[in-house]
Amino acid sequence: MERPVPGGLRGEKEEEEEERVLVSEHSWRPCPTARRRVQGCLEWVKRQLFRVGEDWYFLFILGVLMATISFTMDIIIASSPPHTSPSAHMWLYGEIGDIGVLKYLSWTMYPMALAAFSTGFSQSITPHSGGSGISELKTILMGVVLEDYLAIKNFGAKVVGLTCTLTCGSTLFLGKVGPYVHLSAMAAAYLGKMRTTVTREYEVGVPPVSENSWGSMGTPKPPRVAKPGELWQEWDHPSATIYGTLIFFLLMKFWMLILATTLPLPAGYFMPIFIYGAAIGRLVGEVVALLFPRGLYSEGPPRPIIPAGYALAGAAAFSGSVTHAVSTSLLVCEATGHMGHVLPTVLAVLVANAITQKNQPSFYDAPIIVKKLPYLPPIRSRHIA
């Protein structure tokens, strides 16, 4: 007598249920042939699109993301009170009266509050959000893993802190070029984690470092576009000459730049150096124009002295000597559109680099030495302990 197989009826029931499930799964998908053709077409389109490589689309998304962030930050900065209604700031300054202490406080409290909020907010989230971040990026691009400098919380802290720093306006002598490069590298690293391995994410961070330094040169659009003559009249003091104005500007900005670069807030240092070099070049150009009012004599008629050309050369030479970069000459000519001063600008940059590279490390190598970050090849410390 044959014994009944245990679970035989249950097995048959499970097979029937599986068949029912299969039938029910295909019952709501009509036109299987058309769906297979559409799926095949989509696969073919995908193969054609990704034939050029996934990096192109990755960099496209990265560029759109950084442009959106930059545009949003510029809108916020341009809509802040010092940029939209400077008369309100002047009105408060005038309504205080003749009390010097109150005038001083009314003029300085708003930028001080923004700078304090920028420092406190960024440092409370992560202490690595201060500064420009270029020194750390140089270390990362050499293959050293510094996860804290590319964390997403550092990205948010730097965006908020940099926005508050730039909202302070001209009262804080800082820029935004370096932090934008760091932000783009952090965004590239975060997007790279979603598509590839850890070893690849640092390689993808190289193009933003070379591209965002140009895209971040823009400034927020002012509420009213002024003519060059009107801008110059605002700097024309009735009881001072242009030489005194430039000398006073250089003396004041010298210690202000040193003080501003020591603040632990997200900010860039390239544009202040660029402006300071332009002021030095303009002063030299004005002095040369004073010494040679008829111009310099060479073959043919005398050539007039153009102080603006000296300002371009000074901006490129000073910023190039501080950063040990030669590309500042191209940056100056590209940003201003004056290609007629390319040769003297390049010559000034080469001479300045030859002098500074022999005596001092660059502005971005000095923090690597001070923070003792791993870097290959080793940087000669020279005069920095």
pLDDT tens digits, 58-89: 788 888 888 888 888 888 877 765 555 455 56
198-226 residue pLDDT tens: 444 445 455 555 444 444 444 444 444 45
Q: What average pLDDT does range 21-45 have in this prediction?
A: 69
| Integer Cα distance of 32 and 21 in angstroms | 17
Q: What average pLDDT does range 285-306 have in this prediction?
A: 82
| Integer Cα distance of 243 and 307 in angstroms | 12
pTM of the model: 0.70
Which alpha helices (DSSP H) does the chain contain, by range?
8-27, 32-49, 54-78, 81-84, 86-95, 100-125, 134-141, 152-167, 177-193, 198-204, 206-215, 228-234, 242-261, 270-291, 307-323, 328-336, 342-359, 365-371
| Residue 296 confidence class, pLDDT cut points 50, 70, 90 | confident
**pLDDT above 70 for 111:** yes
Q: What average pLDDT does range 139-158 have in this prediction?
A: 81
First vs last Cα of the chain: how many Å apart? 98
Q: What average pLDDT does range 82-105 have in this prediction?
A: 67
Q: What is the pLDDT of residue 165?
A: 82
* Residue with the two structure tokens 């934008």: 180
- Per cent of the chain over pLDDT 70 is 72
| Residue 117 confidence class, pLDDT cut points 50, 70, 90 | confident
**pLDDT above 60 for 26:** no
Q: What is the pLDDT of residue 115?
A: 82
The CA–CA distances, whole Å, from 171 to 65, 103, 111, 131, 332 equal 30, 15, 7, 18, 24
| Residue 251 confidence class, pLDDT cut points 50, 70, 90 | very high
**Residues near 385 by Cβ (< 8 Å), separated by ≥ 6?**
none
Of residues 343 and 30, which shows the higher confidence score? 343
267-283 residue pLDDT tens: 888 888 888 999 999 99
Q: Which pairs count as long-range contacts for 217-225, CB under 8 Å and 24+ apart, including other chains? A: 217/177, 217/331, 217/335, 218/70, 218/74, 219/74, 220/74, 220/75, 220/77, 220/78, 220/83, 220/166, 221/74, 221/78, 222/78, 222/83, 223/78, 223/83, 223/84
The angle subtended at Cα 151 by Cα 372 and Cα 50, nearest 5°, is 115
**Residues near 40 by Cβ (< 8 Å), separated by ≥ 6?**
none
Closest listed residue to residue 181, CA positions, set 153, 198, 156, 206: 206
Structure tokens at 220: 């927020």
Q: Strand, coil or helix: what is 59?
A: helix
| Integer Cα distance of 122 and 118 in angstroms | 6
Q: What average pLDDT does range 326-344 have in this prediction?
A: 82
Of residues 133 and 247, which shows the higher confidence score? 247
| Residue 350 confidence class, pLDDT cut points 50, 70, 90 | very high
**pLDDT above 50 for 35:** yes
**Residues near 193 by Cβ (< 8 Å), separated by ≥ 6?**
201
Q: Strand, coil or helix: what is 377?
A: coil
User: What average pLDDT does the structure give for the chain?
Assistant: 75
The CA–CA distances, whole Å, from 43 to 32, 35, 46, 56, 61 equal 16, 12, 5, 19, 22
Structure tokens at 21: 């499930």
Q: What is the pLDDT of residue 218?
A: 47
**pLDDT above 70 for 379:** no
Q: What average pLDDT does range 123-129 have in this prediction?
A: 83
Lowest mean pLDDT among 10-19, 144-153, 176-185: 10-19
Q: What is the pLDDT of residue 211?
A: 46
Structure tokens at 50: 């990704």
Closest listed residue to residue 175, CA positions, set 109, 86, 273: 273
**pLDDT above 80 for 175:** no
**pLDDT above 50 for 33:** yes
**pLDDT above 70 for 38:** yes
